[in-house]
C-alpha cells in the first residue's frame, strides 16, 4: 500500500509505476483505491462477484477515478469498478456526488459524509476481497494523509484498508516542498502503535540535487522509528502521466516559440482535465491553462472542457469576462472546442426539469438546446464523424473511440427558435454539432485527444503512447528502489 504524508506527495504515479513494475516481473496485478475524490473519471466495465447481494451485474458500465483507470492499464489489467468502489465527485465546496460501484447513489450523496463510512465499508471490503482473490498482487493507493486525527474515526481509505488487507505500506513524501523528514516522522508518530508496524519503508519523492547531502537524516529517522528510507526518487516534471485532482505544474507548460497555442479554460468545477495530457506531449504545441480572460489573448484554440456543475461554471465564466473574449475569438474565425459541459455552454439554453444542474442561458454559439435528464449517460462508445466543415475538416469521416459521462441531452433548435441564428450542423447523431462557419465544434465524446488517429489528423504528429509512459515510470522505480526491497513488500 502506498500512503502519503499529504495530497500531491506522488501516491498516484508511484502506484502506477509499481503496477507496471510488478506486472513486468510476471505477476497478475490490480490497483485499488477504496475512495477517491476527483472530477476526473473514466468509464469502465462493471464487474462484480455474483455471490454478493451488492451485485450490480445489470449495469454494463460505470465510473471510477482516472488514476485507477491508468493504474489498471499499467498493470495490464482490464479496468473495472472494483478498483475504485467509491468515487466522490465535488459539485460544490460542501457537496459531492457519490459514485458507488460505478453508479450514482443519490441516498449516499444526500447523507452527511461522516455518516457514510459504515454504509460504504461493506462495498469496499467486497471489492478488495474480489481483487485479492483474483490477482497475485494488489497495489493499494491511500488518500491524503493517514494521520489526519480529525478523520481517523471515520477512515475508510487509509488505515482501515491497511489493517483489513494486512498491507505492507510505504510512506511517500514530497521532498521538494521542504520539511520532508518532519513530515515522515510526524505522520508516523501520529499513527496508532499497531499501525506504525505496517509501515515498512519511507520514500522520498521529487528530489532535486545530490542525494548524498541527505545524510545523516535517513539514518537518524531510522533510529527514531526503526523504518528505513528505501529510496529517493528524482524530480520528474514531465512524466507523461495525466495529472489528477486539478494539480497543474506550470513548469511543464513553458512557452514555445512559433507553437500552436491551445488554451483550456479552467473553471472551478472542471472535470476530465486528464484527457488533455496528450496535448502536453506534443513538442510544438503550447498548452495554456486559462484561469483569467487575459490568458486567451492571441491563442489559436480555446477549449471549454467538461464540468461537474455546468450552470455554476457557466455563471463563473460570464462573471469573469470570458464570454466577450470567446465571442471575439469566434468572430475572428479561430477555433473553439466544447467538450460535454463545454458543449452545453456553447448552446442557446439549458433546461433542468429535475433540478439536476440548474437552468441557464448559454453562450449562443451553437443553435442547440440541452435538457438535463434524471439518469446519467455513462458509456464507452465508438462513433464516426460525418462531413466536418471549416478548420475542423480533418476530422471528416474519422472513426473515434471515447466515453460519455453526462446528464444533459442536446438537440438542434430551429432558426426561428433562436432569433434567426444559423442552424447548427449535426456531425455525429445526438453527440456533436458545429456552427455554419465551421470554427465552433461541440461534442459529448471525451477522450478525443487520446486517439492517435485524431492527433495525427489534427496536428500531423505521433503522440507518446501510454505504454512508453508506464515503462518509463517502472524503469525509474527500478533504478531508485532496490529490487529485493520491492519483492520483499509482496512476500
- Give the span between the Cα atoms of 356 and 353, in whole angstroms: 8
Contacts of 484 (CB under 8 A, 6+ apart): none
Our answer to whether residue 446 is catalytic in this structure is yes
Three cell numbers at 392?
475542423
Catalytic residue list contains 340 = yes
Task: For 374, list phi and psi in degrees, rounded to 5.
Answer: -65, -40
Cell triple for 269? 468545477
CA distance 454 to 374: 32
Closest C-alpha among 450, 454, 449, 445 to residue 340? 445
Whole-number Å distance between alpha carbons of 227 and 230? 9
SS3 state at 314: helix
d(CA 362, CA 366): 9
Please tell me which residue in 340, 365, 406, 407 is annotated as part of the active site. 340
* Contact present, 431 and 424 (Cβ < 8 Å): no
Catalytic residue, candidates 309, 329, 407, 446: 446
How many CB atoms are closer than 10 A to CB 280? 20
Question: What's the CA gap between 413 and 368, in Å, rounded?
Answer: 5
Grid coordinates representing 34 are 477504496
SS3 138: strand
Where are the alpha helices (H) located in 285-403, listed in sequence order?
A: 310-319, 322-331, 341-346
Share in percent of the chain as helix, strand, coil (round to 5): 35, 25, 35
Q: Under 8 Å CB-to-CB from 426, ≥6 apart: which residues?
A: 412, 432, 433
Query: Could you give the 3-state DSSP secondary structure of residue 460?
Result: coil
Task: Report whether the peptide linkage leading into residue 216 is cis, meaning its omega lies within 30 degrees of zero.
Answer: yes
Closest CA to 156 of 186, 121, 109: 121
Which residue from 32, 108, 101 is spatially nearest to 69, judged by alpha carbons?
Answer: 32
Please identify every residue annotated as catalytic. 340, 446
Amino acid at each position: 500500500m502506498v500512503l502519503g504524508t499529504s495530497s500531491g506527495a506522488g501516491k498516484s504515479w508511484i502506484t502506477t509505476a509499481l503496477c507496471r513494475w510488478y506486472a513486468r516481473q510476471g505477476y497478475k496485478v490490480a490497483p485499488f483505491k477504496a475512495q477517491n475524490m476527483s472530477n476526473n473519471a473514466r468509464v469502465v466495465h462493471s464487474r462484480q462477484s455474483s455471490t454478493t447481494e451488492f451485485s450490480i451485474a445489470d449495469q454494463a458500465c460505470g465510473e471510477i477515478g482516472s488514476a485507477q483507470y491508468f493504474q489498471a492499464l499499467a498493470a495490464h489489467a482490464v479496468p473495472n469498478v472494483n478498483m475504485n468502489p467509491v468515487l466522490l465527485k465535488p459539485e460544490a465546496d460542501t457537496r459531492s456526488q457519490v459514485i458507488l460501484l460505478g453508479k450514482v447513489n443519490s441516498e449516499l450523496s444526500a447523507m452527511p459524509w461522516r455518516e457514510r463510512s459504515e454504509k460504504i465499508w461493506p462495498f469496499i471490503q467486497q471489492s478488495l476481497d474480489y481483487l485479492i482473490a483474483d490477482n497475485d498482487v494488489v497495489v493499494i493507493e491511500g488518500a491524503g494523509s493517514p494521520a489526519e486525527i480529525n478523520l481517523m474515526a471515520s477512515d475508510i481509505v487509509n488505515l482501515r484498508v491497511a489493517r483489513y488487507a494486512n498491507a505492507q505500506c510505504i510512506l511517500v513524501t514530497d521532498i521538494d516542498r521542504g520539511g520532508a523528514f518532519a513530515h515522515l516522522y510526524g505522520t508516523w508518530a501520529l499513527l496508532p502503535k499497531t499501525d506504525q508496524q505496517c509501515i515498512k519503508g519511507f520514500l522520498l519523492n521529487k528530489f532535486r540535487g545530490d542525494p548524498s547531502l541527505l545524510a545523516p537524516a535517513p539514518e537518524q529517522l531510522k533510529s527514531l522509528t526503526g523504518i528505513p528510507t528505501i529510496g529517493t526518487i528524482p524530480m520528474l516534471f514531465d512524466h507523461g502521466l495525466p495529472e489528477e485532482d486539478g494539480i497543474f505544474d506550470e513548469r511543464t507548460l513553458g512557452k514555445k516559440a512559433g507553437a500552436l497555442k491551445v488554451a483550456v479554460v479552467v473553471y472551478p468545477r472542471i472535470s476530465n482535465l486528464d484527457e488533455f495530457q496528450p496535448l502536453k506531449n506534443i513538442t510544438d504545441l503550447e498548452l495554456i491553462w486559462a484561469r483569467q480572460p487575459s490568458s486567451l489573448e492571441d491563442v489559436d484554440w480555446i477549449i471549454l472542457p467538461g464540468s461537474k456543475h455546468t450552470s455554476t461554471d457557466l455563471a463563473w465564466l460570464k462573471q469573469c469576462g470570458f464570454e466577450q473574449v470567446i465571442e471575439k475569438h469566434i468572430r475572428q474565425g479561430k477555433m473553439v472546442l466544447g467538450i460535454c459541459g463545454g458543449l452545453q455552454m456553447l448552446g442557446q439554453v439549458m433546461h433542468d426539469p429535475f433540478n439536476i444542474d440548474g437552468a441557464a442561458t448559454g453562450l449562443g454559439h451553437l443553435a442547440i438546446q440541452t435538457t438535463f435528464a434524471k439518469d446519467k449517460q455513462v458509456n464507452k462508445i465508438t462513433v464516426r464523424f460525418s462531413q466536418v466543415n471549416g478548420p475542423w475538416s480533418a476530422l471528416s469521416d474519422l472513426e473515434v473511440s471515447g466515453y460519455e459521462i453526462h446528464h444533459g441531452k442536446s438537440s438542434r433548435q430551429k432558426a426561428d427558435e433562436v432569433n434567426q441564428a444559423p442552424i447548427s450542423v449535426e456531425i455525429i447523431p445526438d453527440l456533436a454539432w458545429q456552427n455554419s462557419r465551421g470554427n465552433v465544434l461541440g461534442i459529448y465524446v471525451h477522450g478525443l485527444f487520446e486517439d492517435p488517429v485524431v492527433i495525427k489528423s489534427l496536428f500531423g504528429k505521433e503522440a507518446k503512447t501510454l505504454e512508453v509512459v508506464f515503462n518509463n515510470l517502472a524503469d525509474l522505480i527500478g533504478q531508485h528502489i532496490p529490487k529485493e526491497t520491492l519483492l520483499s513488500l509482496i512476500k
